[in-house]
Amino acid sequence: MSEQSKITEIPVPVENVNDESVQVAEFLVPDLSPVNADDEILTIETSKAAINITSPATGFVHFLVQEKDEVPVGSVLAIVADTIEILQEYQGDTTFNTNSDDGTQILPNDTKVAEKSYLRVTKAAAELLQQYNTNAEKLGLTGLVRAEDVKAAIEKREVPKLCAFASPRENIVSKTKKTEIQLLSEAKSEVILSQVSVLVPTKGIFTKAAKDGSIAKQFSARIIFEVSRLLQQYPSLQSMYQNGALYQYTETHIGYALNIEKGLKVPVFKDCNKMNLDDILRQKDTFIEKYISNTLTMAEMSGGTFTITDLSSGYAWLFNPVLNTGQSAILGIGGENPQGNCYPLILAFDHRVSDGQIAAAFLNDLKKRLIAHEQVLCPAVLPISKESHTEEHKDTQRKNDETTENRQEDLPCCSKCYRDVDELTAMDQYLVQTIDRNGDTQLVCTICMEGW
């Protein structure tokens, strides 16, 4: 664009957009309104995040797309002219005052806007598309789309008409949801999905977490911590089957599903098997802040090798976690049962790369570790299982009660997971003194050492 034209184009950004197209979510200023450089003028939605587009110059903005349009990356979204007169001259003085009989705004063939506008739909055609809950792109229509073009394409495709009381424009599927549907559909169509679940005895960890945010924060971080360690012992749960070959991931990147108030997003804890509990807590805080401010980047939400989805706060008892594409397993955490004495762990996995015996072993190992963490977070609370009816278990529980009451605050503990020596002894584990490169010594439990 030459400087003499005093027109600045605003394209869909290519950087940080992995999609071939984006969806126009919302105009932040009215069309033909004055704007300043760096003013936010519209929001686009990719498969991973919403991005606010700013004006590159001061002037008057004119949008070349409509809200909810899906446009290719690199396409021009809008133009900014120094003055409204220049904008009108650029448009040929016809865009804003000349209409065809069917409501289409006519652009002269020799105007630059006509060259940049990859799709224009008449009012009658738009109403027809709405009735059939489709759009011009799905029907393969480009350029100027009229009602007769839509009718011909619908007859060819045999698109079913919506019933009279349907309102598709009010419930339009977002770009993020479309991509989620596509990826999950691909994953489901390719895998042989199986599922195993176990019940974890508890005395109300999630009920307490609902009242105490620090418990909720600590327990979810400890789940990520323990899963990352266990995955080193169960490599088939971090694998991918493709074209007759099995591929095993060499790194552990756990995605943790967040769905608080801005829709589902899955930030990924990269190399979390090498992180200590404090690192995971800090990373989780950062992800939640970015989720709330809608600033999670695609890099922070990609590359996962395993996923955790926690519906315990929604009081979901049992559910079916949906496997993500490129992964072989996903862990679901359900809420406590009405009696508050147990909660489920659910593992959905690809049976082509793993089996039920491995899944059950993984869940039972995780179950033991989470019971120990609950005792750390709620030391006065000890889980009760069916075995508690036996005299042997009652004796063990009485000993645990005495240990809890007499526990000293300064017992030696693991520098990574913070289990103390009493907890480790109860789990048939122990502490090992290690020396780092600087000659500093620290205690690490045998559970964490297995994760190395």
> Do 259 and 341 sit in the same domain of this protein?
yes
> Do 214 and 198 sit in the same domain of this protein?
yes
Q: What is the CATH number of the domain that holds 365?
A: 3.30.559.10
Tens of pLDDT, residues 353-396? 889 999 999 999 999 999 888 888 876 544 444 444 445 445 54
Q: Which of 372, 396, 420 is the last residue of a domain?
A: 396
Q: How many domains does the chain have?
A: 4
pLDDT at 452 over 50: no
In sequence order, the 6+-apart residues with CB closer than 8 A to the CB of 410 are: none
Mean pLDDT of the 223-249 span? 89
Residue 404 lies in a domain: no
Residue 401 lies in a domain: no
Mean pLDDT of the 82-94 span? 65
Please state, rounded to an integer, the average pLDDT across all residues of the chain: 77
> Do 127 and 155 sit in the same domain of this protein?
yes
Mean pLDDT of the 390-413 span? 53
- Could you tell me the strand order of the sheet in which 59-63 lies? 7-11, 76-81, 59-63, 34-35
> Do 67 and 138 sit in the same domain of this protein?
no
When pLDDT is cut at 50, 70 and 90, the band that residue 272 belongs to is very high
In the prediction, which pLDDT does 229 show?
Answer: 93
Residue 437 lies in a domain: yes
Mean pLDDT of the 37-56 span? 86
Residue 403 lies in a domain: no
Residue 218 lies in a domain: yes
Residue 402 lies in a domain: no
Q: Which of 157, 172, 187 is the last residue of a domain?
A: 172
Tokens 């990719």 correspond to 46
> Do 128 and 221 sit in the same domain of this protein?
no
> Do 291 and 224 sit in the same domain of this protein?
yes
Task: Return the closest-CA partner of residue 376 out of 177, 244, 219.
Answer: 219
What is the per-residue DSSP string for 184-216? HHHHHHHS-EEEEEEEEE-SSHHHHHHH-HHHH
> Do 273 and 369 sit in the same domain of this protein?
yes
- Give the domain range for residue 376: 179-396
Residue 65 lies in a domain: yes
Residue 341 lies in a domain: yes
Q: Which of 156, 172, 188 is the last residue of a domain?
A: 172
Q: Which helix (H) or strand (E) holds 219?
A: helix 213-230
pTM score, two decimals? 0.52
pLDDT at 310 over 80: yes
> Do 187 and 166 sit in the same domain of this protein?
no
pLDDT at 326 over 50: yes
> Do 263 and 191 sit in the same domain of this protein?
yes
> Do 71 and 153 sit in the same domain of this protein?
no
**Would you state the structure tokens that stand for residue 334, as one six-digit string?**
């359900």
CB 428 within 8 A of CB 369: no
Tens of pLDDT, residues 157-170? 765 655 554 444 44
In the prediction, which pLDDT does 363 show?
Answer: 96
What is the per-residue DSSP string for 125-194? HHHHHHHTT--TTTTT--EEE-HHHHHHHHHHHTPPPPPTT--GGGGPPPHHHHHHHHHHHHHHHHS-EE
